[in-house]
Amino acid sequence: MESPELIPVHTRILTNKDNIVEAIKEYAQDIITNKDIVCVAESVLAITQSRYIRPEELKVCWQARLMNRFVPPAGSMASIYGMQAAMEEEGKWNMMFSFIWGAIAKLAGKHGVFYQRCRQASLIDDVTGTMPPFDKCLVYGPANASKVCEEIKKATGAYGAVIADVNDLKRAAVLGKSAKISPYKVAKILIDNPFGNDNQKTPIVIIKNFTDYV
Domains of the chain: 6-50+142-213 (3.30.1330.100), 52-138 (no CATH)
Q: If you average pLDDT over residues 117-132, what whole number do you get?
A: 78
C-alpha angle 67/42/210, rounded to 5°?
135
pLDDT grade, residue 3 (50/70/90)? confident
* The pLDDT of residue 128: 67
**Winning range, highest mean pLDDT, from 25-34, 97-106, 122-131:** 25-34
Compute the distance between CA of residue 120 and CA of residue 106 in angstroms, rounded to an integer: 19
Compute the distance between CA of residue 9 and CA of residue 25 in angstroms, rounded to an integer: 11
* The pLDDT of residue 20: 97
Q: If you average pLDDT over residues 34-41, what whole number do you get?
A: 96
Residues of the chain above pLDDT 90, percent: 64
* pLDDT of 198 over the 70 cut: no
* The pLDDT of residue 94: 93
Compute the distance between CA of residue 119 and CA of residue 84 in angstroms, rounded to an integer: 14
Q: Are 40 and 190 in contact (CB under 8 A)?
A: no
* The pLDDT of residue 27: 97
* The pLDDT of residue 116: 84
* The pLDDT of residue 48: 96
> 3-state DSSP call for residue 55?
helix
Average pLDDT, the chain: 90
* The pLDDT of residue 8: 95
pTM (2 decimals)? 0.86
Close Cβ partners of 103 (under 8 Å, ≥ 6 residues apart):
70, 114
| pLDDT tens per residue, range 53-72 | 999 999 999 999 999 888 87
* pLDDT of 193 over the 70 cut: yes
* pLDDT of 199 over the 60 cut: no
